[in-house]
Amino acid sequence: MGLTLIQKILLKHSLSGKLKDFIYAKVDFCFGNDITAPLAVKEFNKAGFDSVFDPNKIGLICDHFTPARDQKAANNVKLLKQFSRQFKIKHFYDIEACGVEHVFLPEAGLVKSLDLVIGADSHTCTYGALGAASFGVGSTDLAAAMKEGKCWLRVPESLKFVYQGKLNPWVGGKDLILYTIGKIGVDGALYKVMEFSGEAIRKLEMDDRFTMCNMAIEAGGKTGIIEPDEKTVQYIKTANPKLKNFKFEKSDPDAAYARVINIDVGRIKPQVACPHLPSNSKSVKECVKVKLDQVVIGSCTNGRLSDLAIAAKILRGKKIKKGLRAIVIPATPKIYDQAEKKKYLQIFSEAGFIISPATCGPCLGGHTGILDKGEVALATTNRNFIGRMGSPESFVYLSSPAVAAASAITGRITDPDEVAG
Amino acid sequence: MTIKGKVHKFGDNINTDDIIAAKYLDSQDEAFLGSKCMENIDKDFFQKVAKGDIIVAGKNFGCGSSREHAPVAIKGCGVSLVIAESFARIFYRNSINVGLPILVSKDCGSISAGSLLSVDLNQGLIKDLNSGKIFSSEAFPVFMQEIIEAGGLLSWIKKKEKQ
């Protein structure tokens, strides 16, 4: 029996050299952010640890409540900075350098194919798009990994999703993943790996692949993964030109899957996930009566350059609906610069969007775009749980950047076809 | 170890934003986080819950973010055990790592809110003291039992270092 890509990576990192139900595995990189890492540091200190396994393989990335929303947030960043100085941790990043962690780490070349990465953030599953095994864990897991460079893992089964056919206009990675979560439910991939494959995936650019793997957690998945191809290799080499001996693997043709799910992408129209679960996905046409108070384009799901590009394409020469609040958050300083050079930021600004510094901010109801009671937002983010963006009595809809941009123009949920042209 | 407590019931897909809203994540204080537990879906939960009480929930409990503040908040408000039909994976490992007792019981849906339970954690036996009914739960894999017995992941690592 052959092995899936994820099994191959876990086998390579298993300290016993075997793949049992549970393995103790060596990690290539571990990281946390300004809300999960302070708890890890607290546990690390409480346990009396006085060394880290490798100061070059730990990341402390400040992105959630930054730029510091208040003194407490500033204190958490300071605590991570002090910890980094104490243990000579190389990859500590504050706002001037990083931006949203799951966009920044691949962009900075800190993750590559076949790596085993754990992060104290559930969207760590994003790096499966690079052919890496990346798992979200908790703060105590991070404390243990910082000390030992190891992590306990259950060896997961995989679900194989095969996407065939031709994508409809305005349909991208976000629509495919919202549709998929709608089909299998928010626990449809519980403890399992979601392997995305098929000709439609091969045609997707890397940004769309990151979006799909990013949301594997919203179906309960342990991670998402996509077999690397020439696009992946190009991305990794561009991100880290110094990289030598770069290798990648694919799943064996006879690898065992818990289930194979075939999806004809020709049937998928632009999707919207309605409150209060990411699995409540519908075709945009079924949601066009929903009036909006706020639109947010950004996050680790959809704050990349091509996300801004497609939104700018729709917004060029247009204005947002009067009275609507529209926020765009380029996910990293580098993306901000690129979007500026390409004049996307000018288009957003002229349309009436506010351009935010890189932050997770409103996605998790942190700051810079909180909803009040009764308010409705359409966001390119990943979760629409009760109270996710502020008041427990507010409503969050999820969509692609194209649908979000079109909806900003009309002030209600809108099919991009309606305003484009 | 036997736990006795009154049942608070929750449905399917209780996510970590329900358990502890993200705006409170700048705190690492167990008592503070506990005082905000379940605030988004049950504003008065902290007032209603007493030390030793038990949460009984449906499928996929703890889905969503990786925040360890979620099991910490549950511990902080005095809850002694969570029983669910299934748990989201990061919440599951966080609970093991921080020493919050959890049990997977496929038939826990028929336990009523307000019932008094007596739970033998070693045997995984759940007894409803009101109805007299017994519910079974899934045994933890040996590997995890070691971590639970050591009192959490970091104690387990320290114990290994000494050996």
List domains and CATH numbers for chain A: 9-152 (3.30.499.10), 156-268 (3.30.499.10), 272-419 (3.30.499.10)
Q: Cα angle vertex A334, ends A328, A335, to 5°?
A: 35
Indicate the angle between helix axes A305-315 and A344-351, nearest 10 degrees. 50
- Residue B149 in any domain: the answer is no
The residue in chain A having the minimum alpha-carbon distance to the alpha carbon of residue B152 is A140
Output phi, psi for A161, to 5 deg.
-105, 120
- Residue B86 in any domain: the answer is yes
- Residue B37 in any domain: the answer is yes
Which of B21, B27, B67 is closest, CB to CB, to A365? B21
Contact yes or no for B153 and A144 at CB 8 A: yes
Contact yes or no for A76 and B26 at CB 8 A: yes
On the question of pLDDT at A245 being above 90, the answer is no
Q: What is the pLDDT of residues A304-326, one digit of tens each?
A: 999 999 999 999 999 999 999 99
- Residue B155 in any domain: the answer is no
Radius of gyration of chain B (CA): 15
Cα separation, A361 vs A356, whole angstroms: 9
Q: Cα angle vertex B161, ends B160, B163, to 5°?
A: 65
Number of domains making up chain B: 1
| Mean pLDDT along residues A107-113 | 97
CB < 8 Å from B in window 146-205 of A = 147-148, 152, 154, 186-187, 190-191
Which of B28, B63, B144 is closest, CB to CB, to A187? B63
On the question of pLDDT at A194 being above 80, the answer is yes
Reported as a pLDDT band with limits 50, 70 and 90, residue A344 is very high
| Mean pLDDT along residues A156-185 | 98
- Residue B143 in any domain: the answer is no
| Mean pLDDT along residues A292-296 | 98
Cα separation, A262 vs A322, whole angstroms: 43
CA A28 to chain centre: 20
pTM: 0.98
On the question of pLDDT at B151 being above 90, the answer is no
On the question of pLDDT at A358 being above 90, the answer is yes
CA distance B140 to chain A (A): 12
On the question of pLDDT at A132 being above 80, the answer is yes
Contact yes or no for A39 and B28 at CB 8 A: yes
- Residue B85 in any domain: the answer is yes
Q: Hey, is the C-beta of B58 within 8 angstroms of any chain A C-beta?
A: no
Least confident of A60-64, A246-250, A375-379, B78-82: A246-250
> According to the model, what pLDDT value does residue B3 have?
94
Tell me how crowded residue A260 is: count the other CB atoms within 10 A of its CB. Answer: 12
Contact yes or no for A222 and B89 at CB 8 A: yes
Which of A70, A136, A387 is closest, CB to CB, to B21? A387
For position B17, which CATH number holds?
3.20.19.10
Helices (H) and strands (E) in chain A, counts: 15, 18
Reported as a pLDDT band with limits 50, 70 and 90, residue B163 is confident
Domain that holds residue B70: 2-138
Whether B68 and B27 have beta carbons less than 8 Å apart is answered as no
- Residue B156 in any domain: the answer is no
Reported as a pLDDT band with limits 50, 70 and 90, residue A244 is confident
On the question of pLDDT at A295 being above 80, the answer is yes
On the question of pLDDT at A421 being above 80, the answer is no
Tell me how crowded residue A374 is: count the other CB atoms within 10 A of its CB. Answer: 10
Share of chain A above pLDDT 70, in %: 100
A243: tokens are 């990289």
Contact yes or no for B93 and A21 at CB 8 A: no
CB < 8 Å from A in window 102-161 of B = 141, 143-144, 147, 152-155, 157-158
Cα separation, A14 vs A9, whole angstroms: 9
- What's chain B's average pLDDT? 95
| Mean pLDDT along residues A348-366 | 98
Reported as a pLDDT band with limits 50, 70 and 90, residue A92 is very high
Q: In this prediction, does ipTM exceed 0.90?
A: yes
| Mean pLDDT along residues A290-301 | 98
| Mean pLDDT along residues B54-74 | 98
On the question of pLDDT at A192 being above 80, the answer is yes
Whether B91 and B63 have beta carbons less than 8 Å apart is answered as yes
B58: tokens are 């449906």
- Residue B154 in any domain: the answer is no
Question: Token match 């700018």: residue?
Answer: A312
